[in-house]
Structure 1
Amino acid sequence: MKRPEKDAGPTTGAMSTEGTTGGDPQALADLGWRTFFTAQIADETEAELIPVRVMAVNRNGLLVSGAAVETTVPPYLSIEGSETAQATVGDWLLVDPDTMRPERLLSRLSLFKRWAPGKGRMVQLIAANIDTLFVVTSCNLDFNVARLERYLAVAREADVTPVIVLTKADLVDDVAPFVETAAKLMPGLEVEVLDARDPESARRLLPWCSHGRTVAFVGSSGVGKSTLINSLIGSERAATRGIRENDDKGQHTTTRRELYRLSSGGWLLDTPGMRELQLTNVKEGLGRVFAEITDLAKSCRFTDCQHGDEPDCAVRAAIAAGEMDAERLERWRKLVAEEAENSESLSMARQRPARRSTARPPRIREDTDED
């Protein structure tokens, strides 16, 4: 098991909140505050503001917590002299101690987002400042290599450590093929097999859940995310329901994004199951997940080789030699084309003249319900 780097965690002591009047430095460190955020305190005026973290996304606003502070604030920050910004779960905000009005959204260590489903041409924010992404799938019909590659690309683009978590191993005679297939999806990828219903089995994930660190769970509904969360937090806070027998599809249980405190001192984010994960602005992430294709492409005769009928294609040669799966190449092609199309569409949408309106911006959306 590859443990998280120690220097990537939260800081403690006065340095963690130097320049703020946010209260107990240890309390902020417990929430995941780090020197990365401290360095963003711009001047003496901002030093008087209180840092708070977004703990949950509700229909009526964002539930935020800080040192001796817990309140609900609007999800959109209309700040004079800057563009309207939107916060999501895991974000850090600076709020006025008198009015509790959010004044600034701090830059993020990481941000998960996706191309929102439907025809709105928008980006949907999922979570911010996540350290590890647990990609949960079960050993039944839900196990889908193409879907796992999508999650991995999103994680690597955000520079977040992904871990594949296989559940419901009792449904198959041999779990080894599932482990082997998952481990091959990306160099150095960690794969854990556990029983989501067993707290002792779930404890295998605790090395990634140490003090102040934040982990997120993603995956289709019905794979055991909520059950696993309940095992880790030791209570029935996350609702659970069964799967449909005819197709192994889960029934939606989680309806909002929320951070749960773990006994290990870390934070756990649950998200609604997502039926669709369209990619946008994850070109580098795709390159890191499909590193073998990216590396081989450097040896192709043509720099713009599409790995089809071109002569001296190193990628096709590797497939012919049995060193690479042809289906892997086809999945890569599909994801690259999808990412390029969505990224171009989003760029064009952002270049259109903005409407004069005081309403919240239409291009970015945070859904609290499952799509």
Structure 2
Amino acid sequence: MNLALTLPQLGWQAFFQQQLTLSEFEQALIARVTAHHRSGYQLMTQQGPCHLTASATLPDITIGDWLLLDQAGGFIRLLTRKSLFKRKAAGSQVGEQLIAANVDTLLIVCSLNHDFNLSRIERYLALAHEAGAEPLLVLTKADLCADVDAYLQQVTKLDPMLLVEVVNALDSSCSSKLQHWCRVGNTLAVVGSSGVGKSTLVNTLTGNTAQKTAAIRGDDSKGRHTTTARSMHFTATGAVLIDTPGMRELQLTNCDAGIRRTFADIDALARACRFNNCQHTAEPGCAVQQAIVQGELDARRLTNYQKLHAEQARNAASLQQRREKERQFSKLVKSVTSLKAKKYAE
């Protein structure tokens, strides 16, 4: 990694500059989080890399965040984020996991083989819209696909305005296709299933082989995890690139706005339903079901819309219950502490 990076090469923008006072800009160290480990955070400043030790007093921090440090490397504050990607914690845990912050463009990588999945693409689109980043669908392994147009027709039906690029991630020419997004000051994050070519794409865009790659299974195009942790890279054109591991589980939470934007066509149809609370199942006068019968809407798309809505509502409710329990416990602790203080004072 080049240690002599300017703030723009680290992804600094006017949005963050406007949050600083003149004295902060002149005296504080501006640092970006490039990695998160158990012991703390790896940071990058104009002066080079440094480390911030993990502490219970620190706010929730993730890769891509901007921090202000004092001259000794001590934490001052976390700058307001431009965007934030998060998901429900994997497994049975009740909580949110931060994925990346301050991403301008989300590269949703999907290969043109058995891995191609419209419902998964919609899930990533909802995540991007909720986070406040521009989604860009990157279809890889074009050199191994006999009918690219058939795939393009499917994704166009999701959203006619969706930005799509078809590439062979092994070919350096794919860099020119993504040149518009790989400009100085822009931060991109790469997401997708294992084996779709995320690490290969990162290596091509950065001009090195920092990320490990592995072949996929021939029978079902399934890949193996080669990226095990989120990592930050820098392209020759000045963009910041965040690579993420293939996520087997990406459950949405508090993502209502992102889902509605991703399925704007269904929301538009719903406004013509006879009943305001139509569930789009068997109600009379349902414009959504009528669109399916007439071939204007894919039934799969409605099913996924309903699935994601139910999922995010369920996860949001679970998180709210956990936060309420934590608030009640905190109040109990304060009450007990206050009683003890009074007892000792008597």
* TM-score (norm: length of structure 2): 0.89
Q: C-alpha displacement at 1:33, in angstroms? A: 1.7
- The alpha-carbon distance between structure 1 residues 223 and 93, as it changes in their structure 2 partners (threshold 3 A), is same
- The alpha-carbon distance between structure 1 residues 343 and 187, as it changes in their structure 2 partners (threshold 3 A), is farther
Matched to 1:125, the amino acid is L
Match of 1:103 in 2: 76
Q: C-alpha displacement at 1:102, in angstroms? A: 1.6
Cα distance between partner residues in 2 of 1:76 and 1:207: 39
> What's the % identity of the aligned pairs?
47
Cα distance between partner residues in 1 of 2:45 and 2:176: 28
Q: C-alpha displacement at 1:64, in angstroms? A: 0.7
Larger radius of gyration: 2
Match of 2:183 in 1: 210
Work out which of the residue numbers 92, 97, 101 in structure 2 matches 1:124: 97
Q: C-alpha displacement at 1:281, in angstroms? A: 0.9
Match of 1:53 in 2: 32
Match of 1:41 in 2: 20
- The alpha-carbon distance between structure 1 residues 205 and 277, as it changes in their structure 2 partners (threshold 3 A), is same
Cα distance between partner residues in 2 of 1:76 and 1:301: 55
Q: C-alpha displacement at 1:244, in angstroms? A: 2.3
- The alpha-carbon distance between structure 1 residues 246 and 94, as it changes in their structure 2 partners (threshold 3 A), is same
Match of 1:289 in 2: 262
Cα distance between partner residues in 2 of 1:112 and 1:41: 24
- The SS at the match of 1:103 is strand
Alignment of 1:247-262 (within 5 A): 247-262=220-235
Cα distance between partner residues in 2 of 1:313 and 1:168: 40
Matched to 1:49, the amino acid is A
Q: Is the 8 A contact 1:75 1:86 kept in 2?
A: no
- The SS at the match of 1:206 is coil
Q: C-alpha displacement at 1:156, in angstroms? A: 0.6
Q: C-alpha displacement at 1:76, in angstroms? A: 4.8
Give CA-to-partner distance per residue, 1:162-186, whole Å, 9 cap, x none. 1111111233321111111122223
Cα distance between partner residues in 2 of 1:229 and 1:76: 32
Q: Are residues 1:28 and 2:1 paired?
A: no
Q: Is the 8 A contact 2:126 2:258 kept in 1?
A: yes
Structure ranking higher in helix proportion: 2
Q: C-alpha displacement at 1:160, in angstroms? A: 0.9
- The SS at the match of 2:228 is coil
Match of 2:253 in 1: 280
- The SS at the match of 1:199 is coil
Q: Is the 8 A contact 2:226 2:245 kept in 1?
A: yes
Work out which of the residue numbers 85, 88, 91 in structure 1 matches 2:65: 91
Name the Cα RMSD after superposition. Answer: 1.9
Q: Are residues 1:112 and 2:85 paired?
A: yes
Matched to 2:85, the amino acid is F
Q: C-alpha displacement at 1:65, in angstroms? A: 1.1
Give the total of aligned pairs: 326
- The alpha-carbon distance between structure 1 residues 172 and 45, as it changes in their structure 2 partners (threshold 3 A), is closer
Larger displacement relative to structure 2 (133-142 or 47-56): 47-56
- The SS at the match of 1:207 is coil
Which portions of structure 1, spanning 4 or more consecutive aligned residues, are displaced by more than 6 angstroms? none
Cα distance between partner residues in 1 of 2:46 and 2:83: 23
Match of 1:301 in 2: 274
Q: Is the 8 A contact 1:53 1:91 kept in 2?
A: yes
Q: C-alpha displacement at 1:47, in angstroms? A: 6.4
- The SS at the match of 1:309 is coil
Q: Structure 1 stretches of 5 or more lacking a match?
A: 1-23, 79-83, 357-371
Q: C-alpha displacement at 1:57, in angstroms? A: 2.2
- The alpha-carbon distance between structure 1 residues 246 and 174, as it changes in their structure 2 partners (threshold 3 A), is closer
